[in-house]
Structure 1
Amino acid sequence: MALDRNSIERRDFPAARRGYDPDEVDRHLREISEQVDQIQSAQLDAPAQAAPTVAAEAADQVRTIVEAAERSASDIADRAEGEARKITDEASRAARESRERSDAESAAQIRRVEEAAAQMLQRAESVDQEVTRLLDDIRAASDNIVGTLKGGASSLQSDLEGIRSGLGEISDVEQPEAQPEPEPEPEPEPEPEPEPIEEEEIIEEEEEEPAPAAGEGSEGARLIALNMALNGTSREETGAYLEENFDLDDREAILDDVYSRVG
């Protein structure tokens, strides 16, 4: 290495963190450069005979100074490298711990999400089972209602057919067959006027006439009322008809029964 100021005070060393203070190092190198300059000036000013001895001593001093400077620079580089390695190791360890912590937190979060999903699936299965059970109950109830309605409709149809057949028989009984008109008979001889009959005797004869059987009148009235109800006749009109044509004690009961069946 050349022993001049530029070589001693050079600044092309590798940069490192946490080393010696650069200003202090520069100051130290400047002092070395000044001492080297002084030695070189003394060599130029010394007599010729003393030149070899002075030159040798100066060379030794310069060599010592340079070696010290190189050792200082080497120590500075080693310390800087050690500090840099320490900082790098700490940064790597911190990054590794942070990554491990993040992995642990991510695993815990994933586990919580999986548990929540499992609970939701279990709840959905429970709801599905409950809905299925309710649908089965509704289907069973619907089948029972439909069966009951069908049975009631069949029974009502049978009753209506029986009522219609009974009404047909009553119509046949109420409408007598047409008879041929009798041939005119010769006028009879006038009879003597009958004696006047007292009012009391007429009342007694009317009381002696047999009343129609209550059972036969009630059943006929029931059939007629049912036929009128099926044809859409109101309850009041049917009741008025029964009152005019039948002597009934249970007219309201018959109307209640008939119109409750017809609905």
Structure 2
Amino acid sequence: MNQQDNNTIDFGFSQVPLNEKVKKVKSVFDSVADNYDLMNDVMSLGIHRLWKQQTIALSGVRPGMTVLDLAGGTGDLSLAMAKKVGKTGTVVLADINESMLRVGRDRLIDAGVGSQVKFNVANAEALSFPDNHFDVVTMAFGLRNVTHKDQALAEIYRVLKPGGQALILEFSKVHSPLLSPVYDVYSFKILPKMGKLIAKDEASYQYLAESIRMHPDQDTLKQMMLDAGFDRATYMNMTGGIVALHRGWKF
């Protein structure tokens, strides 16, 4: 949680009042929405596409399923899952940030899957969906921005059907003594400068690097999922732990 007291919460390496974090995160993603996909490709050298492909492959999404893409932003996962659920299934692309959701909606409509996707402005900590509603819930690179992560995980568990699976794809902790210092230099020296050059926004990508370091590590997040009610939770590291895919099941 990284919450220092009852009134403040981390925003990168800074502490801000609890009731201001959502507004500050919204400001970050309002700023980067139009260049978000381009920056993802540039800053990960395109590897984020492989991380997401692996997430989809392990999701088990099939025709006719109902899927929630939470904090789905510009719709990478929603697009892939809409093709898998087909005309008989439904994907809900949900995000708290309307700027990101607008980019995602336009993208999916242009891709011809708009009829299979519903769009929802949603706070992960207080979802409006009924209990036991979704076969699969995904959340890619969104959990670290949530104020109360334990509450969001409990909500994901609540809206999953019995037998359903949640997949949380998120930056995590690098354990390699060789990769770790290189990754630190890249994160804090190069990434913000890339943000300044490409997205004209250095501060948002400085926050990105800081928010990754403040996010719970692999084992901590696994235990948080179990504490939220998941009957089973596992994780797999990708690219040396730069990213981890956590999976939780509701039986």
Q: TM-score range by the shorter chain?
A: under 0.3
| Greater RCO (CA < 8 Å, at least 6 residues apart) | 2
Q: Higher helix share goes to which structure?
A: 1
What is the TM-score normalised by the length of structure 1?
A: 0.16
Greater Rg over alpha carbons, structure:
1
Structure holding more strand per residue: 2
